Amino acid sequence: MKTIKKEILEQLRSEYPKGTRVELVRMDDSQAPPVGTRGTVLGVDDAGSLLVRWDDGSSLNVAYGPDQVRVLVGEFTETVKEQILAIQATGETNMFDVPMVQQIANRKGYHELVVYLIDHGGEYVNFLLFGDEPTEEAQG
């Protein structure tokens, strides 16, 4: 097994925390999912490989070095959901006051939520009213 510097491993784990949504750019493997396939990061192993659950059901890891993914921003993820619920639990604002929710999210360091709210106001309101989580088609 190829060893990886501790600093690089820490950086990868910071850049790709559990729940991060990614899209495959390149993978050097005959069984790789198609380029453009999206997935959710489950973690980073000690070799620096991203453990990904691909939306097509595959679970092939993204090897540090030869493989490449890009982080998807502005999607409804488990992190965004948790951030919405955390702000709601404070009772600090009317959750339909989107600019105030963004301000609170920014203050709390909930940057994923801030970015999500920029382009997904309708989906956000549906989540508040009905608990409906956006589907892949609605997001992208």
> Looking at residue 125, what DSSP letter applies?
H
Domain count, the chain: 2
Helix ranges (DSSP H) in the chain: 6-15, 78-90, 98-108, 111-119, 121-130, 136-139
Domain with residue 67: its CATH number is: 2.30.30.40
Co-location of 59 and 104 in the same domain: no
Beta-strand pair 38-44/68-71: unpaired
Co-location of 61 and 12 in the same domain: yes
Going by pLDDT thresholds of 50, 70 and 90, the confidence category of residue 2 is low
How far is CA 104 from its chain centroid? Answer: 20
Instruction: Give residue-wise pLDDT tens across range 9-54.
Output: 999 998 998 888 899 999 989 999 999 999 989 999 999 999 999 9
Nearest CA-CA partner of 72 in 34, 19, 14, 133: 19
Which range of residues forms the domain containing residue 91? Answer: 78-130
> Looking at residue 48, what DSSP letter applies?
S
